Structure 1
Amino acid sequence: MDAEKEVPGQYQSYIVEFTEEVRLQMEENSSENSPSLLDMVFFGDLDGVWCEVTVNALRLHQPLKKKSLIVPAGGPDKDAWFAAMTFTSAIEQEIDRITRPV
């Protein structure tokens, strides 16, 4: 990955909405087996704006880090709520994949 840099200012409102939606979706889907958000950071590079979260769940042996490009270099390609929905779904799928019995 290219050198990390600060997130461009024009995306701040998008990131605020994305953050609120991720937190809301994780709270709405909260159950004993659901992941809990431990940390969320944003950074930019030549590809765009990235979000990296650290989550924990009872079925995980250790916290999980998940990173995704949420704003491509050319600008957002979807609404922040939809980006948050796909991001949280990807987290759930990753946890399911990791914890699935072999």
Structure 2
Amino acid sequence: MLDLLADKWSALILGALEDGPMRFGEIRTRLDGISPKVLTAALRRLERHELLTRTVIPAVPLHVEYELTELGQDACVPLAALRTWVETNLPRFVAPAPLGA
């Protein structure tokens, strides 16, 4: 579970879904830089671990919404604290020295 939650994209997807259900395209827009393939894999992994649900909405065309489960909402609590810590301490981070320096 730690490996799942420590994954950059998984943590960002969970954070995006804190605001409520979203469609695939909305998540992709919110997470600038994620490819459709990586997003699909991460969503499937989170669904498999019951951190989110995938609901197919019968419309023309069909669309799918993703929403946090209770377990996913619980996981967002420590992730939000970590996000806050990073944002607060960002000025204190030192850039790593280049390799070979």
TM-score, with normalisation over the residues of structure 1? Answer: 0.29
Question: Which of the pair is proportionally richer in helix?
Answer: 2
Structure with higher Rg: it is 2
Question: Which of the pair is proportionally richer in strand?
Answer: 1
TM-score, with normalisation over the residues of structure 2? Answer: 0.29
